[in-house]
C-alpha cells in the first residue's frame, strides 16, 4: 500500500506539470492567431475610418480611429466626380465572365490530364505547369500586340479572354479530380456514357469544393487586376474599378478620404463572394492538397 501511495504522489506533480505546459502552448498559439488577425484587420479598419473623415482630418496627429464627425459625403462625392457605376459594371462583367470561362476551360483540361490516358500525358502536364514560372510581365507585350492585331483594344474581349486560361486552375482541379473514385466513371461507361457526360454529370458535381475555390481565386484576381487593364484600355468608359480609382490619385496631392471611400466600394464585392463560398473554399483547399 505504501509503495502504491508513493507512486501515485509521484505521478500527480508530473501530470499537473504536463497540463500546465499544454495550457501555455495553447495560450501562445491563440495569442499568435489573435495577433495575426489584428495585423490583418487593422489596415481594413483604418481604411473604413479614413473613408468617413473629412479631408482635413486624414492627416491629423495623433491619428483618430473614430472621426469626430462621421460623414458619408466621401461616397457621394466619389459617385459625383467619377462614373463609379460604369466602372463597377465593367469590373463585374469582366470578373464574372473571366471566372466562368476559367472554370469551364480549366475543368476540361483537368479532366483530360486526370482521367484520360494517352501517351506523353505526364510530360505535357509538366510543360503546362512550367508556364507558371513565366512572369506575367513577360507575356504582356506579346498579348498586347495580339490584341492590337485582332482589333480588340478597348473591348471586353481584351479584358476577358487572356484571363480564362490558367495553369494554376488546371492544376488545382486536376488534384481534385484525382481523388474521385474511378469506379464511378467505369460504371457510367458501361451504361454507354461518353467522356463529356461523365465530365459534366459525375466529375463536376463531385468537385464543387474545388470549383468554388478556383472561382474565388479567379474572381479576386480578375477584380483586382490593374496592370493589364492599364495597358489595354484607354477609353474611360471601358475602365474597370481599380483603374478608375487610380484617377483619384493626383500628381501633387491625393484626397485620401475619397480614395479610401472608393476602395471600400471595391472591396465589398470581393468580401461578398468569399463569404458566400467560404465553406467550399476551405474544403476545396483541403481536398486539393494545397496550403494557404
For the chain, the structural domain boundaries read 2-51, 79-288
pTM beyond 0.75, yes or no:
yes
Q: How many residues does the chain have?
A: 292
State what percent of residues in the chain have pLDDT above 90: 29
Return the pLDDT at 143.
92
C-alpha distances in angstroms, 110 versus 14, 33, 175, 182, 205? Answer: 54, 35, 8, 15, 14
Question: Residue 186 has which C-alpha cell?
Answer: 467505369
d(CA 245, CA 263): 8
How confident is residue 7, by pLDDT bands cut at 50, 70 and 90?
very low
What is the pLDDT averaged over residues 258-264? 84
Collapsing DSSP to helix, strand or coil, 249 comes out as: strand
- Report the mean per-residue pLDDT for the chain: 83
Q: What is the CATH number of domain 79-288?
A: 1.10.3720.10
- C-beta neighbour count of 157 within 10 angstroms: 14
Q: Kindly report, residue by residue over 119-150, the tens digit of the pLDDT.
A: 988 999 999 899 888 888 888 999 999 999 99
Return the pLDDT at 269.
84
Question: Residue 236 has which C-alpha cell?
Answer: 474611360
Return the pLDDT at 18.
66
Which residues are paired to 249 by β-bridges?
Answer: 254
Q: Kindly report, residue by residue over 191-229, the tens digit of the pLDDT.
A: 888 889 999 999 999 888 889 889 988 998 999 899 999
Return the pLDDT at 84.
84
Q: Between 252 and 92, where is the model more confident? A: 92
Quote helix, strand, coil % in the chain, to nearest 5: 80, 0, 20
Rg of the Cα atoms in the chain: 26
The torsion region of residue 166 among left (phi > 0), alpha (psi -120 to 50) and beta comes to: beta
Return the pLDDT at 292.
42
Return the pLDDT at 102.
95
State what percent of residues in the chain have pLDDT above 70: 87
**In this structure, are residues 185 and 198 in contact, taking their beta carbons and an 8 Å threshold?**
yes
Residue 157 pLDDT > 90, yes or no?
A: yes
How confident is residue 81, by pLDDT bands cut at 50, 70 and 90?
confident
Which residues are paired to 54 by β-bridges?
Answer: none
- C-beta neighbour count of 193 within 10 angstroms: 16
Amino acid at each position: 500500500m505504501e509503495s502504491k501511495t508513493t507512486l501515485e504522489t509521484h505521478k500527480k506533480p508530473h501530470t499537473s506539470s504536463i497540463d500546465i505546459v499544454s495550457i501555455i502552448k495553447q495560450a501562445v498559439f491563440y495569442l499568435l492567431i489573435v495577433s495575426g488577425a489584428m495585423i490583418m484587420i487593422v489596415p481594413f479598419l483604418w481604411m473604413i475610418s479614413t473613408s468617413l473623415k473629412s479631408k482635413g482630418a486624414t492627416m491629423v496627429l495623433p491619428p483618430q480611429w473614430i472621426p469626430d464627425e462621421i460623414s458619408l459625403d466621401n461616397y457621394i462625392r466619389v459617385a459625383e466626380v467619377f462614373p463609379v457605376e460604369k466602372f463597377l459594371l465593367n469590373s463585374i462583367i469582366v470578373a464574372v465572365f473571366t471566372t466562368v470561362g476559367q472554370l469551364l476551360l480549366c475543368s476540361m483540361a483537368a479532366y483530360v490530364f486526370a482521367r484520360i490516358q494517352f501517351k506523353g500525358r505526364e510530360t505535357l502536364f509538366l510543360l503546362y505547369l512550367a508556364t507558371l514560372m513565366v512572369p506575367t510581365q513577360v507575356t504582356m507585350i506579346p498579348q498586347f500586340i495580339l490584341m492590337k492585331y485582332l482589333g480588340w483594344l478597348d473591348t471586353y474581349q481584351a479584358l476577358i479572354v487572356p484571363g480564362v486560361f490558367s495553369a494554376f486552375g488546371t492544376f488545382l482541379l486536376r488534384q481534385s479530380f484525382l481523388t474521385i473514385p474511378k469506379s464511378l466513371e467505369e460504371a457510367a461507361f458501361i451504361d454507354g456514357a461518353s467522356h463529356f457526360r461523365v465530365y459534366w454529370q459525375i466529375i463536376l458535381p463531385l468537385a464543387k469544393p474545388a470549383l468554388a475555390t478556383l472561382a474565388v481565386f479567379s474572381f479576386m484576381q480578375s477584380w483586382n487586376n490593374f496592370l493589364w487593364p492599364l495597358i489595354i484600355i484607354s477609353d474611360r468608359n471601358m475602365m474597370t474599378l481599380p483603374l478608375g480609382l487610380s484617377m483619384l490619385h493626383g500628381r501633387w496631392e491625393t484626397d485620401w478620404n475619397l480614395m479610401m471611400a472608393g476602395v471600400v466600394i471595391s472591396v465589398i464585392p470581393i468580401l461578398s463572394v468569399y463569404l458566400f463560398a467560404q465553406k467550399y473554399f476551405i474544403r476545396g483547399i483541403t481536398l486539393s492538397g494545397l496550403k494557404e
